[in-house]
Structure 1
Amino acid sequence: MIKSTAKSLITLVVISSVLLLIPMKSDAQVNMNRLIQVAKSCQKEAPSIKYYQKMGIGIDINTINYIQNEKIELIRNCINYRYHYSLVVSKFPWLSSSGQIMPGYLGSVAVGSLVFWLQGKTPTSVLDCISSQNAASQQCSLTKNFMGYDQELRCFDRCLDSRSHQVLGLYEVHVCPSCVVAHDEVSGSQLEILQAFIKWFLKLDQAKRREILSILADNSKAYNLRLLIKNESGSAVKKYREAVQRVEKQEQERRRRELLGN
């Protein structure tokens, strides 16, 4: 166990060093310092059973095996989500201290999650929804589909194994553990979470409202901004994958040299 932990820590250091050596390309600008911090946290937590247990997600032997077998994919998902979230917050620095839409559920995460899920060109109707001030209104019929989930996220023994495995790949799970708990405290109701988001939004001053809508609106400018964030997050995952491949190749070459006595 000690050897495994030591090897893991060495890998973290090596991959971080390799990331700094990967040349930047003009078509995929990635903040390498941000990526290194995100990668460190994801390599530590995404494959950790304790991480999921802390937020109350049910863990059984099948889920443990799944986490071990899908370690690489879980880390990549985590990097994608956390890098994406950090970009949204960096665009609007005040978001990180904007409070909660409900106990444990950060307003910044609600915005980040919406930005992530509203990446396509399909009209979001966020402005019309908020204007109605009623999550159950017809104007909110589209928006509510991207606000939380109707089922509980902490599956325990009530969910099929496949369902619990899907939960491990969600945005909120990797970005905001307390949001997962808060989500289930209202029985996973999308309407309740959306209504809380609307109330939170309406308490902001008009300048901050305009900033949020500049990234959630239906116009091309907002869509392009969401697309830029999506593309940079994807590029960050690609950079990480390149770093891991380099480390693996170096390790393979080292073993070959040892075998041949070079």
Structure 2
Amino acid sequence: MDLNTKDIQLQYEGFLNTPFLWNSDAVFDLKQFEFLKENSATFNNGIVKNLRLGKRVERFVMHELIQKKNINILAENIQIQNGKTTVGEIDCILTENEHPFHLEIIYKFYLYDETFGTTEIEHWIGPNRNDNLVKKLTKLKNKQLPLLYNSFTNPLLKKINLKSENIAQRVYFKAQLFVPLSLKNNSFDLINNECIQGFYIHFNELKQFSDCKFFIPSKINWLQAVQTQTRWLTYNLFLTKVEDLIKQETAPLCWIKYPNGEVQKFFVVWW
């Protein structure tokens, strides 16, 4: 297995093992697409080398779904057009046991910041503060899901012989969550606490981990579980590499290996 194939397989396994951000319709009344998970953990499709993380996840979801005998994919990644203008994109229309569903796919990395917003849901933000959970949920509810009922979607529905009023809507929303060190053992009311993958820390606070080793995976490998057999960096070398990213106001996801051999994911933030 070449390195790229091995990495893709590890990404797929990391994706599969990421829990849904909530169960049923606990958040914003958006229902997760819940189905019996008994899939093979092997991903045997090729992926374009530079395919970005979001599109990569869409490929992984499709691969996961087609393993199911009772699921049939009718359309995926369909651009809805008004002449030459793109109105939006529908991620997937499928049938499960012949019941049609419109599915929107989301995979996110969020950090819990009590200084942002006023409610638990508002406190979850992107690593670089230019994204947040409420913004994404609002976009889903007000823009992405209503696209099914847009008149410009009719040609697609006609093609697959369905009417919008007969199609149920679901989201497939997975996330990796990170909390401040002070909240490491905290549990949250509205989200699935199994999504918490690690902590985050400000660059200036890294010194407390000077006896640890580190690794900075590429963004597409953020999906992976921490790999123990890797080229671990010493604290000083890690600090130099991270400082360059922090100066660019980029918060990297990193792996940490403690002196006792324990490993974990964490973000280093600039804000």
Taking structure 2 as the reference length, what is the TM-score of the superposition?
Answer: 0.30
More helix by share: 1
More strand by share: 2
Taking structure 1 as the reference length, what is the TM-score of the superposition?
Answer: 0.31
Q: Which has the higher contact order (CA 8 A, sep 6+)?
A: 1
